[in-house]
Amino acid sequence: MEDTLSLVLFSGTDDKLHAAGTLAAGAAAMGRPVNVLLQYWALDAFRAAAIDADHGLAFDSIRPGTRQPPAGSRAIPWLETFRMAKELGEMSIVACSGSLEVLGIIPGELDPIVDGTGGIASFLLAADGGQIIFI
């Protein structure tokens, strides 16, 4: 549908996962269908064994003089925003089959918040005329 929000979630740091979760929750709260495709380091972050770990911050945070989060990156509630998005509306989280293969991850390793696996073609088809955001 035209009002679908589609996210290619590639990055695996806590700050970018938070930015993605906030967009997903915001769109879900507005009644928009949300499709998330997990690739590479986001896929890695959604492994059950890794999802609660400290995933650090983006490279941009390293420059001297940058304001650091007073509560640290562990305090960034990205997983909670994704859980909230699922409660608020219609959101699917799909693991990219190509990234699973490149990283040697099997679906059974993923956290149960991930709904299944799929490829880029079905993602683009579901995105339809709606917005696609790469994070």
Residues that bind its own copies (CB under 8 A): 2-3, 5, 8, 10-13, 15-16, 18-19, 22-23, 25-27, 29-30, 39-41, 44, 47, 50, 53, 55-56, 58-61, 63, 65-71, 75-76, 98, 102-105, 119-121, 123-125, 127, 129, 131-135
CB of 115 to its own copies, least distance (A): 20
- In the bound state with its own copies, the residue whose beta carbon lies nearer, of 112 and 129, is 129
Rounded to 10 deg, the angle between the 14-29 and 78-88 helix axes is: 20
CB of 11 to its own copies, least distance (A): 5
- In the bound state with its own copies, the residue whose beta carbon lies nearer, of 11 and 35, is 11
CB of 104 to its own copies, least distance (A): 5
CB of 113 to its own copies, least distance (A): 18
Q: 52 to each of 29, 34, 73, 75, 97, how far by Cα in Å?
A: 25, 23, 12, 11, 23
Separation CA 22–CA 11 (nearest Å): 15
Strand order in the sheet with 91-96: 116-118, 91-96, 34-38, 5-9, 131-134
Query: What does the CA dihedral 60, 24, 8, 2 come to, rounded to 10 degrees?
Result: -130
- In the bound state with its own copies, the residue whose beta carbon lies nearer, of 112 and 121, is 121
